[in-house]
Amino acid sequence: MKKIAFETLGCKLNYAETSAIASRIVQYEHVGFKEKADVYVINTCTVTANAEKKLRELTKQIKKRNPEAKVVAIGCFAQRDPESVNRIPHIDLVLGMAEKFRLNDLLPRLEKGELSGIYHSLPPAEVDFLPAFSYGDRTRSFLKIQEGCDYICTYCIIPQARGKGRNPTVESIVEQAREIARKGIKEIVLTGVNIGTFKDKSTGTTRNFYDLIRALDEVEGIERYRISSIEPNLLTDRIIRFVLTESKRFLPHFHIPLQSGSNEILSKMQRRYKRELYADKVAAIKSLRSDAAIGVDVIVGFPGETDLHFDETYGFLKDLPVSYLHVFSYSDRPGTPASRMKDHVPKKEIVKRSRLLRELSQRKYLLFAEKQLGKRRQVLFERRNQDGMISGFTENYIKVMHPFNPQWVNRIVEVKLRRIQGDYVEVEPV
């Protein structure tokens, strides 16, 4: 049996789609990406220049491993700029958004040499919603509930790669959640490009994201849900209240992109809120659950970001009771309005500002974790044996470790948080 290997770059949505595509391919033996295979499939990302650089590095590694292997590029970079992807050495086939879900049917033609180059038929706006969920580790699944985005943030290339916002019905997503439950998976992470815009008009009355999570909360077999990322202007008080006080299964964990703590920069980014609204959302969450985890996305070095703008962001985040930051250095994306703006920030300054925010993130996380020490928490343990240790996450997204216990794999165990060791907390069973 020939062998196939998959690698995913980028977001949780990409992971869900990779898993869905791979699950349909049964005529190959699936192996790890670092192993020798006959076909390698890379699900690409186009958010940053680093993701494109990584694609080039991976293709070089593949050809050293197996010079005869076929290499297929799919995903956002392959959709947005297939010609550039096709020029990368060693890539044999570039599939667009519609074609990537037909990979199983196309592989025989690729192997025979009948198919190469760019196979790219429809613009992303014309591609129907294609369902996907991941289930590789049998503990947690990323469930795709939404695709594309109608927002026009000036730095973002994703609408060009994935098209306008669209989603399936509430019922179809609930059925996928039931299928995930039948696989023995305990936790689902809801993912998409802009999940808060979810709208299902199939029944004559519009059902929104709030209606969806209420329906998912009733699915038996799934014990935990997380919301991957939701825009602050779409995170309503009803959603916050449901997750924190009414739901049986949604966890006290929100990831809310901020991008900048300066209203002037937010306006240049064409974000749909001001920092005051963001602060109100954080306050609303903490008023209901002081131990709720709140993650933040922030972009450093947006064109025109002065020292004063950065100081506004730093001070704003320093004073907010958030748990951790995901810090992104601004990456110029040709074709976006931000790429045409003046006053691009020097790379050296971006590196400095990123370092300061990452140090702040570390302090925030340690402070958040310290407040949990001595408390009892429910942890879903993962299957991996990491140097004799097993890891998992509490409801409020604190990573914990314990000497490996095979009976804990894919089980929710009540533990007491004991002490912080680096980026995780040691626990003991209750």
Instruction: Please report which confidence band the pLDDT of residue 95 belongs to, taking 50, 70 and 90 as the band edges.
Output: very high
310 and 281 assigned to the same domain: yes
Q: Can you give the pTM of this predicted structure?
A: 0.93
221 and 272 assigned to the same domain: no
Q: Check residue 53 and give its pLDDT.
A: 86
> Per-residue pLDDT tens for 161-172?
899 999 999 999
Q: Check residue 130 and give its pLDDT.
A: 85
Q: Give the CATH number for residue 382.
A: 2.40.50
Assign 127 to helix, strand or coil.
coil
Instruction: Please report which confidence band the pLDDT of residue 304 belongs to, taking 50, 70 and 90 as the band edges.
Output: very high
User: Is pLDDT of 137 > 70?
Assistant: no
- β-pairing, 93-95 with 70-75? parallel
147 and 234 assigned to the same domain: yes
> Per-residue pLDDT tens for 418-428?
999 988 999 99
The number of beta carbons lying within 10 Å of the beta carbon of residue 389 is 15
159 and 117 assigned to the same domain: no
Q: Give the CATH number for residue 215.
A: 3.30.750.210
User: How is 42-76 classified by DSSP, letter by letter?
Assistant: EEE--SSHHHHHHHHHHHHHHHHH-TT-EEEEEEH
Q: Which residues are CB-contacts of 414 (< 8 A; sequence separation ≥ 6)?
A: 376, 377, 378, 379, 429, 430
Structure tokens at 144: 């795709």
Question: Which residues on adjacent β-strands are paired with residue 390?
Answer: 402
Instruction: Please report which confidence band the pLDDT of residue 114 belongs to, taking 50, 70 and 90 as the band edges.
Output: confident
246 and 256 assigned to the same domain: no
89 and 110 assigned to the same domain: yes
323 and 414 assigned to the same domain: no
User: Is pLDDT of 121 > 90?
Assistant: no
Q: What is the mean pLDDT of residues 24-51?
A: 92
* More confident site: 50 or 263: 263
C-alpha span between 414 and 416 (Å, rounded): 7
At 30, which helix (H) or strand (E)? strand 29-31
Query: Shortest CA distance to 164 belongs to which of 200, 198, 202, 126?
Result: 126
Structure tokens at 125: 């706006």
65 and 140 assigned to the same domain: no
Boundary of a domain, candidates 100, 122, 144: 122
Boundary of a domain, candidates 216, 250, 284: 250
Q: Give the CATH number for residue 261.
A: 3.30.750.200
47 and 147 assigned to the same domain: no
User: Is pLDDT of 70 > 90?
Assistant: yes
281 and 229 assigned to the same domain: no
Domain that holds residue 406: 376-429
User: Is pLDDT of 125 > 70?
Assistant: no
Number of domains in the chain: 4
Q: Check residue 128 and give its pLDDT.
A: 82
Q: Which residues are CB-contacts of 307 (< 8 A; sequence separation ≥ 6)?
A: none
> Per-residue pLDDT tens for 249-282?
999 999 999 999 999 999 999 999 999 999 999 9
Boundary of a domain, candidates 223, 250, 277: 250
116 and 10 assigned to the same domain: yes
Q: Check residue 14 and give its pLDDT.
A: 93
User: Is pLDDT of 359 > 70?
Assistant: yes
Q: Check residue 400 and give its pLDDT.
A: 97
- Residues of the chain with pLDDT > 70: what percent? 99
- What's the whole-number average pLDDT of the chain? 94
118 and 174 assigned to the same domain: no
